[in-house]
Chain A
Amino acid sequence: MSCNEFNRMAGAYLDGELPEEERRRFEEHLASCDACRTELAELKRLTEDLNMMRFKEPGDEELQRYWAGVYNRLERGIGWILLSAGAILTLCYGAFKIIEEMIRDPAVSVILKVGVCALIAGLVVLFVSLLRERLVVRKVDRYSREVER
């Protein structure tokens, strides 16, 4: 085993992730190379320090604030859904009524009526296209799969 190869495997050796055969070759080289022994000792110190690092556990007050933040978002989520649904229904109904009146009104020119109808048809086509795209993406979305894991 060369010193380069040794260096590449040193981390996996310390992590206990080397297969038996490679571990044996690694230890043979270790026994015969002073420079690699020094290198391994330095790396060992680093990995031990990293392994000792832990995240701080927040205090009770911090935890309470943290949970309050999550809870507020959960509540607001329901609020946003209701608000959006209400707004969509109201806007759709309003738009329907306005367009209905405009189409029945003989004073409005035919060109404007055709224009408005084309606008609505365009919006519907775009909406359906986007919806279909979202559904296709959802099937191959890594996030959804990870959520199910």
Chain B
Amino acid sequence: MSENETALLERCRDGDKDAFGFVVKKYAGRASGAACLLLGCPHEALDASQEAFVRAWRNIRRFNTASPFYPWYSAILRNVCKSRLRRRARRRTVALTDGHGDSSSNSDPVLLAERNERRDALWRGVMKLSDPFREIILMKHFQEMSYKGIAAALGIPIGTVMSRLHSARRALRETLAGEVS
């Protein structure tokens, strides 16, 4: 973590909203993308990631500024998204095909940088995976977390991380193969 960010986070802890603005802008893209992968809906992702920033601000005094901001924020974001998914399930709406948009908008890879045909197809494939599979793909490939880190974040053994990632990648390959044929 850069000294600059530590100083910004110290200012946030002192109640400086402008400093928090810099932090929010730095991570907005990554946060919206992560929320989109967790929720399967770009529109709701924007709202959820903003809600998570608000929660982060309210709890900023409990944050240790010596540690990096994003992993702490992403734990909050994950909880916000989980609550929304639970609410969605309670409302008996079907994830990924509910009233937030049709499946084409959900699989829109507009959140990706350096797009090409292969990556767009890959993104659509990832979006078709089940919630736990999308989550583990997000952690491993987009957030570059180690198996140990994923295990700690999800509260599961490393062996389960390995098998879940294996299943997620296999499902993704099958989805991509289905798209090609």
Contact = CB atoms under 8 A, between A and B. Distances in A.
Interface of A: 7-12, 15, 17, 42-43, 46-47, 49-58, 62-63, 66-67, 69-71, 73-74, 77, 142-143, 146-149
Q: Size range of the interface on B?
A: 35 or more
A148 to B, nearest CB: 5
Nearest to A145: B75
Contacts of B17: 71, 74
B9 interface: no
B157 interface: no
Given A66-B50, A146-B75, A148-B62, A49 B122 contact: yes
Nearest to B164: A11
Chain A contact residues: helix, strand, loop or mixed: helix
A131 to B, nearest CB: 20
B83 to A, nearest CB: 8
B24 A66 contact: yes
Contact of A63 (B28, B58, B112, B142): B28
B11 interface: no
B41 interface: no
Contact of B119 (A43, A49, A57): A49
B21 interface: yes
Interface in B102-160: 110-114, 118-119, 122-123, 137, 140-142, 146-147, 155
B59 A66 contact: no
Contact of A143 (B21, B30, B79, B110): B79
8 contacts: A49-B122, A50-B141, A56-B110, A57-B113, A62-B28, A69-B46, A77-B58, A146-B78
A67 B75 contact: no
A36 to B, nearest CB: 14
A149 B75 contact: yes
B50 A42 contact: no
Interface in B41-57: 46, 50-51, 53-55, 57
A71 B72 CA distance: 20
A58 B28 contact: yes
What are the 5 closest A-B residue pairs judged by CB atoms, nearest first? A55-B33, A146-B75, A50-B141, A54-B113, A56-B113
